[in-house]
Amino acid sequence: MRARLVLGVLVGAGLFAGAAHATARPITAHDKALLARPATYEEKIAEAVAGRLTRHTVSVRCGDIGEPSYVLGVTPFVGSHALDYFLMRPDECTYLAWFDRSPARWDPRTCVGSDCQYVPDIAMALAVVAHESYHILGYVNEARVECYGMQSIWYVANKLGAPVAESEALGSFYATKMYPQREESTPRYWSAQCRDGGKYDLRPGSHAWPS
Ligand SMILES: [Zn+2]
């Protein structure tokens, strides 16, 4: 059985310097070992949200994903099918747990002091879950997946306990501060069509963006 991996979210520029490279490899023994162990508390948080977003039973594991450090998540595919699981770096699980514990602390509008430094990391972790969820749904075009994921950051944040206004603020933070950096830093993950009314707008009837 031939397997390939679709790269997950790639980190952006600035805080997240690094170039995007597509890779393909079979599922490794390490992936299998990671998936064979029970989910941790943090992984269950991600599984619950990804499951609600995709309506699939999704397994998530955090660990060594066997990719360069700028790759934060991967969704293994066999042929053209995703396998209802994805892998993330351990930091992403940590940030999700932080957010789950205290969503209000990471509100980009009201964060205090050094907490604000982590808001991009938190927003990215929410985005990774959303991004990989669209791979689970079978999408492989990274620009499309990244754009769909960005439009679901609010959903991930809301399911983890943030009020709608904060959830939308996190989506907006990602869209205005982080996504634009992708045009240069990770162009495969960026599209001019990722905008209100663009080809990748999931809710063309609404002018709210990206939520
Ligand atoms: Zn991806």
- For residue 101, the 8-state DSSP code is H
Kindly list the protein residues that place their beta carbon closer than 5 angstroms to ligand 1, a single-atom ion.
Answer: 8, 142, 145
Token pair of 38 as six digits:
């029970």
Phi, psi of 192 (to 5 degrees): -65, -15
d(CA 131, ligand 1 centre) in Å:
6
Token pair of 101 as six digits:
């514990």
- For residue 52, the 8-state DSSP code is H
d(CA 145, ligand 1 centre) in Å:
6
pLDDT recorded at residue 65: 86
Regions of the chain where pLDDT drops below 70? 1-26
Phi, psi of 154 (to 5 degrees): -60, -40
pLDDT recorded at residue 13: 36
What does each C-alpha distance from 132 to 34, 66, 101 come to in angstroms?
Answer: 17, 16, 22
Q: Provide the total of helices (H) and of strands (E) in the chain, helices listed first.
A: 8, 5
d(CA 110, ligand 1 centre) in Å:
30
d(CA 10, ligand 1 centre) in Å:
7
User: If you search the block for the tokens 């594991």, which residue do you land on?
Assistant: 61
Token pair of 152 as six digits:
């679901």
Indicate the pTM of the whole model: 0.89
- The upper half-sphere exposure of residue 192, i.e. CA atoms within 13 Å in the direction of its Cβ, equals 0
Question: How far is residue 45's CA from residue 64's CA, in Å, rounded to a whole number?
Answer: 19
Q: What is the pLDDT of residues 42-77, one digit of tens each?
A: 999 999 999 999 999 999 999 988 888 888 998 887
Token pair of 104 as six digits:
């209000």
